[in-house]
Chains A and B, each alone.
Chain A
Amino acid sequence: MSTSLKTNSKRYSRELSRYPHYIRKMFEQMQERSQIPAFRSEYHQVEEKERYKSPQQWTVQPGDTVMLTRGKYSGTITKVIALQKETNRVFVENSETKRVVVPKQYWQPGQTSHIIDYPLPQHPYDLKVVGTLVNEDGTEKKIAADKLVFKGEYWDEDYKKMMPYRRVKYNENIIIPWPRPEPKEDCDYSTSQELVEERTFFPNSIVFSDSPSDLLTSMRNPLIKRPYKWNKEYLTKSDVKRLVPPSMPLSESKLAGREERKQIRDSIPTEPSTETIDLVGDKVAAYLNNITNPHLAKYINSKAPGYKDPILEIKAKQKKLYDEKVRENRERNKITSYVEAKYKLKRTKNLHI
Chain B
Amino acid sequence: MSTTKLFNVSSVEAFAKLPQKLQNFFTRYPPAPIKNYSDKPTQTNAADANPFLPNRHPITGKTHEPIYSSRRQSDLYKLAYKFGIADLMPPLANNKKFYLEKQQASPILKGVLYPKGHKWERTYADRKKKIADALNEVDDILIKHRGSKYKKRLERRKVEEKTWV
Contacts and interface: CB of A to CB of B under 8 A. Distances in A.
B19 A284 contact: no
A28 B28 CA distance: 93
A271 to B, nearest CB: 7
Given A304-B19, A305-B23, A281 B2 contact: no
Given A260-B45, A292-B5, A300-B82, A276 B34 contact: yes
Which secondary structure dominates chain A's binding surface? helix
Interface stretch (B83-91, B111-119, B135-143, B146-154): B83-91
A299 B6 CA distance: 12
Interface string A264-293: 100011111101111111111111111111
B140 to A, nearest CB: 71
B27 A289 contact: no
Contact of A287 (B3, B28, B85): B85
Given A280-B88, A289-B7, A305 B15 contact: no
Interface string A297-310: 10110011100000
Contacts of B8: 289
B5 A277 contact: no
Given A287-B84, A293-B1, A300-B82, A280 B7 contact: no
Contacts of B14: 281-282, 284-285, 288
B103 interface: no
A281 B15 contact: yes
Contacts, number: 109
A71 interface: no
Interface in A216-265: 256-257, 260, 264
A272 B7 contact: no
A271 B23 CA distance: 10
A278 B88 CA distance: 13
Nearest to A275: B34
Which of B6, B28, B44, B85 counts the most chain A CB atoms within 10 A? Answer: B6
B11 A278 contact: yes
- What class of interface size applies to chain A in its complex with B? 35 or more
A304 to B, nearest CB: 5
B98 interface: no
Interface string B45-68: 100000000000001100000000
Nearest to A271: B27
A290 B11 CA distance: 14
A348 B90 CA distance: 86
Which interface residue of B4, B15, B20, B23 has the most chain A CB atoms within 10 A?
B15
A292 B6 CA distance: 6
B13 interface: yes
Chain B CB within 10 A, most for which of A260, A273, A285:
A285
B102 interface: no
Contact of A294 (B6, B85, B88): B6
B6 A297 contact: yes
Between A264, A272, A290, the greatest number of chain B beta carbons within 10 A of the residue's beta carbon is seen for A272
B105 to A, nearest CB: 23
Given A294-B2, A296-B82, 16 more contacts: A257-B60, A272-B27, A276-B30, A279-B31, A280-B15, A280-B85, A281-B15, A284-B11, A285-B14, A291-B5, A292-B6, A300-B83, A303-B19, A304-B17, A305-B16, A305-B20
19 contacts: A257-B60, A276-B30, A277-B12, A279-B33, A280-B15, A281-B15, A282-B11, A284-B17, A285-B11, A287-B85, A288-B7, A291-B6, A292-B2, A292-B4, A292-B6, A300-B17, A300-B82, A300-B83, A303-B79
The 9 closest A-B pairs by CB, nearest first: A287-B84, A281-B11, A281-B15, A285-B14, A284-B14, A288-B7, A272-B27, A297-B6, A305-B20
